[in-house]
Each structure stands twice: as structure tokens, then as C-alpha cells.
Amino acid sequence: MKLEIKGLSKEFFLHQWVRKIEGFRDVSFAVDKGECFGIFGQSGSGKSSLIRCIYRTYIPTKGEIWYESREGKVNLATLPEYDVLKLRKEEIGYVSQFLRVVPRVSAVDVVAEPLIKRGLPVEEARAAASSLLERFLIPENLFDSYPSTFSGGELQRVNLARALITKFNLLLLDEPTASLDEGMKQIVTEMLREEKDRGATIICISHDASFLNALADRVGVMKGGRMVEILEEVP
């Protein structure tokens, strides 16, 4: 198994109000290499908290997250920060629901940045970024603009392009198609299928049953902070 989650829970403690808030409780599932695991459920059911724990933006309260990295099996729940950063650079990508754009960086450079960080020559990285933006149907005259001026759908595509350019082994996607129209959704589905075909493992949150059915091999349904069932297909 590429990723195996065992009894994972997340609880927030708000000191100011001396109050506990439950994110999700006792979630377990496993995902194989080249497999897409969908997560379906109402807002507030704990979906985003779950994948933020896997990315370690949140610190899990309990449980284990076993990930098969290039250098062996690690528990992401307790992995030292510096090792988490290394995995984020090389193996694990996260596409958030809300893109926080890097100020004063053009769209093509936002997408090229992960490649440049890995040591690819700047021109080569920008060329790869441009061709990926083209596939996402971003108009060429926007390549050199700042994404802060983009529409929601354009931003989401820039965000996805930035994650896909790196060829990550594990992709964590939070509502990747929320602001996209049907045609664009088709293109994204196709591109994510290609990621699976090259062996990437994907965990994808979505409200969109038809999108999940087209992409996911199995779907975990979340309700009230629990993963209540795991289905082959969303009804």
C-alpha cells in the first residue's frame, strides 16, 4: 500500500474559549499506487481536515499515516518537520480549495517554481510551465500576468498546473473542480487519469459525484467527522 491511514483523529483545542472542536474521528483506509481514493461528504464533515492532516498542515491528535516514500516507509503523523518539507518538495503535492497566490509572481513562474527549486534551468522550467498552462486552456496573454487578477476558475487551474508539473507520487486534492465548468472538468479528469496511469496515488475531495465516479476507484463517505462507508461508486 502506498498510503495507509489507521485510526486517525483530529481535535482542535481553542484556548480562548476553553473548548474542544472535533475535526474527524477514527478514520482508517488504505490507497494503492496508481489508485485514486475519493472523499465525499457534506461541508463540515471533516474532509479537508483529513487531508490537511496527511499533508501535516494540521497535527493529527491520534492515529498513524503510513506512507511508502522513496526512502522507505514513514509515519507522516509524527515525521520530523524537516523530513516533511523534503517530501513536500519531492513527493507529496497538495492543491487547496483556496489558492493563496504568491504576490508579484507571474502565472508561468508560479507554475515553474517547483521545477526551478529542483534545479531545472529557468528557461526549461518556464517552457514546461507554459505548455501545461496551455493544456489547461489558460489564454497565452495571461501567462505573464499576476494570478491575483485572475478569475476563480483560472486560479484553480494555475493551482492544479503547479501541482501536476512536479510529477508527485502522492497528490492531495481539495475540491479541484469546484470553480470549473463542465468542459474544463473533463480536461482535469483526463489529466488526473494520466497521473494515475504513470503511478501517482491520488486522494481527492469533491462534492461532485459524477466527477468522482469518473476518476476515483473507491470513495470514502464522510459524515459528522466519521468515514461511514467506503464505496465503489457514489450513488
Partner 1 sequence: MDCDCLLRVVDMAKIFGDGCPYCLELTDDEHNICPRCGSIVGCAEISFEIMPNEILGIVGESGSGKSTILKTLYFDLEPTKGAAYLNCYEGDIFKANSQDKRWLRNFKIGMVYQNPEPGLVMDITAGGNIAEKLLAAGWRDVGKIRERASGLLKRMEIPVVRMDEITRNFSGGMQQRVQIAKALANNPEILLLDELTTGLDVSVQARILDLIKEIQRELNIAILLVTHDLGVIRLMAERTIVMRNGRIVEYGLTDQILEDPQHEYTQLLVNSEV
Q: How far is the CB of 116 from partner 1 (least distance, A)?
A: 8
Q: How far is the CB of 82 from partner 1 (least distance, A)?
A: 6
Contact of 227 with 51, CB cutoff 8 Å: no
Exposed / middle / buried, residue 200 (Cβ in 10 Å: 0-12, 13-18, 19+):
buried
Residues present in the chain in total? 235
Contact of 37 with 95, CB cutoff 8 Å: no
Q: How far is the CB of 142 from partner 1 (least distance, A)?
A: 21
Q: Which is nearer to partner 1, 103 or 183 (CB)?
A: 103
Q: Which is nearer to partner 1, 103 or 235 (CB)?
A: 103
Q: How far is the CB of 19 from partner 1 (least distance, A)?
A: 12
Contact of 211 with 189, CB cutoff 8 Å: yes
Q: CB within 8 A of 63, min separation 6: which ones?
A: 5, 6, 7, 8, 9, 26, 27, 28, 77
Q: Which is nearer to partner 1, 72 or 103 (CB)?
A: 103
Q: CB within 8 A of 89, min separation 6: which ones?
A: 114, 117, 118
Q: How far is the CB of 168 from partner 1 (least distance, A)?
A: 17
Residue ranges binding partner 1 (CB under 8 A): 12-16, 52, 56-59, 81-82, 84-85, 100, 102-104, 116-117
Q: Which is nearer to partner 1, 53 or 138 (CB)?
A: 53
Q: Which is nearer to partner 1, 52 or 157 (CB)?
A: 52
3-state secondary structure of 171: strand
Q: How far is the CB of 140 from partner 1 (least distance, A)?
A: 25
Q: CB within 8 A of 145, min separation 6: which ones?
A: 106, 107
Q: Which is nearer to partner 1, 56 or 196 (CB)?
A: 56
C-alpha cell of 96? 487547496
